[in-house]
Amino acid sequence: MPRTTTQIALRIAAVVGVALFLYFLPQARTDLLNYDFAFVGIYFIAIVGLNVVSGYSGQISIGHGAFMCFGAYTTAVLSVNYGVGKYWTLPVAGLLTGAFGLLFGLPALRLTGVYLALATFGLAISIPLVAKRFEGLTGGGQGRQLSLLSSPIGGVSTNEWISYFVWAVAGVMFLGAWLLLRSSFGRALRAVRDAPIAAVSSGLNLARYKTLAFGIAAAYAGVAGGLLAIATSFINPDAFPISLSILLLTGAVIGGLGALEGMLFGAFFVQFGPKWAESISKHIHYNEATVQSTVLYGLLLLAVLFLMPEGAAGLLHRARFVLKESRRWLYSRNDSRATA
């Protein structure tokens, strides 16, 4: 599909617009906002990975928090128990969690749809409890305290540093996913999702692609989990509640499953959605703030899904379509005028 420079510029402008809007909405810009952005980046990585398995290969996972937990503990255990520099643990967190995802992907092959979703849900419940068991390794319920964050670069605050670092990693991971998904591998995944029978009859190994998708998604979540451990400097099983997995899936759906460009919006929503709901409801009433913010968050979610049924990526897609149509209309008028 050929594209003009204008189209690309428009596409970028749309993303910039959304980003700026999200950026200025919550509060005046502060140093602390950098810290929030680090978390947006962490969720971004996890959601991009989740999109590979749920969006492209069509396997719904409500257990992605478990993979983050696995990655976070890899980073924490390596850096606390074995003294590995915490930033260097990230590749290991990605690889180990990826391997774990592959292993999980094998039995998951027997399951589809709702049954697979339930299996991943079980993962989200059990992994944090497993982490609680091996106390010598994981610190049990008390968790692990990593060294506190500090910026190695003069003039750059700690919060700036962590967000730069997270976004550098996120940029690389995003590029990786993007290259992977536009390759024949991505095409194969889409084929597996949309027409499994046709895919198999064309010689695609269904099992291999489905398992690989799980492995890749898990590796992304593992890196995100490792970054979470670094950014918070402390993890324990309570840091990976089931709601985390659901939030991630929410982010992927809101971003637009099966498209990468909306994931940024999804990540913003995961980090800031609850905060906006909370800050709005706080203005209403102090003590019932939580109840109200939960209701508000639900309403916000509904509104977003109604307005953008295909997620942020779908909205971008539709905006492009409208633009194209209106231009075609404009050109055709010009053409008709010319012939007249």
Partner 1 sequence: MRRALFALGVVAVAAAILLPGAFGGSSADPGVTARSVTIGGTFPFSGPASSYAPIPVGMKAYFSYVNATKTNGKRGVNGRQIVFKAVDDGYNPAQTVQKTKQLVEQDKVFALVGGLGTEPTESVVAYANQQKVPQIYVSTGATEWGAKHDQQPWTIGWQPDYQSEAAIYGRYIRANLPNAKIGVIYQNDSYGKDYIAGLEGGLGAKKSQIALTQGFEVTDTSVTNQVLALRRAGVDTVMIFGTPTPTIRTYATMAAIGWKPQNIFLNSVSATDTFMGIAVARAGAAEVNGSISTYYTKDPANSRWDNDAGMKLYKSIMAKYAPSNAKVTDSLYVYGMAKAYTFVQALKAAGANPTRDSLMKAVLNMNDKSNPFLLPGVVTRTGPNDFFPISQQQLIRFNNGTWAPFGALTDTRPAGSR
Q: Closest distance between partner 1 and the C-beta of residue 198, in Å?
A: 26
Q: Closest distance between partner 1 and the C-beta of residue 109, in Å?
A: 29
Between 45 and 117, name the residue whose CB sits nearer to partner 1: 45
Q: Closest distance between partner 1 and the C-beta of residue 126, in Å?
A: 10
b/e 26-57 (16+ beta carbons within 10 angstroms → b): eeeeeeebbbbbbbbbbbbbbbbbbbbbbbbb
Tokens of 317: 């897609």
Closest-CA residue to 94 (of 1, 194, 8, 170): 170
> For 310, which DSSP code?
T
Between 108 and 264, name the residue whose CB sits nearer to partner 1: 264
Q: Which residues contact 300 (CB under 8 A, 6 or more apart)?
A: 273, 276, 277
Spatial separation of the C-alpha atoms in residues 246 and 241, rounded to whole Å: 9
Between 214 and 297, name the residue whose CB sits nearer to partner 1: 297
- Work out the number of other CB atoms within 10 angstroms of the CB of residue 63: 30
Spatial separation of the C-alpha atoms in residues 102 and 61, rounded to whole Å: 14
Q: Closest distance between partner 1 and the C-beta of residue 282, in Å?
A: 9
Residue 298 Ramachandran class (φ > 0 left, ψ -120 to 50 alpha, else beta):
alpha
Where does residue 168 rank: exposed (0-12), middle (13-18), buried (19+ CB within 10 A)? Answer: exposed
Q: Closest distance between partner 1 and the C-beta of residue 290, in Å?
A: 4
Between 107 and 171, name the residue whose CB sits nearer to partner 1: 171
DSSP string, 82-115: S---GGGHHHHHHHHHHHHHHHHHHHHTT--HHH
Between 44 and 214, name the residue whose CB sits nearer to partner 1: 44
Q: Closest distance between partner 1 and the C-beta of residue 16, in Å?
A: 5
Q: Which residues contact 325 (CB under 8 A, 6 or more apart)?
A: none
- Residue 339, amino acid: T
Percentages helix, strand, coil for the chain, rounded to the nearest 5? 80, 0, 20
Between 30 and 81, name the residue whose CB sits nearer to partner 1: 30
Binding interface with partner 1 (CB under 8 A): 3, 5, 8, 11-12, 15-16, 19-20, 23, 27, 29-37, 39, 41, 129, 132, 140-143, 145, 148, 156-157, 159-160, 163-164, 167, 170-171, 174-175, 178, 182, 228, 232-236, 238-239, 241, 243, 261, 264, 278, 286-290, 294
Q: Closest distance between partner 1 and the C-beta of residue 300, in Å?
A: 16
Between 201 and 287, name the residue whose CB sits nearer to partner 1: 287
User: Is the CB of residue 320 less than 8 Å from the CB of residue 7?
Assistant: yes
Between 140 and 196, name the residue whose CB sits nearer to partner 1: 140
Q: Closest distance between partner 1 and the C-beta of residue 203, in Å?
A: 27
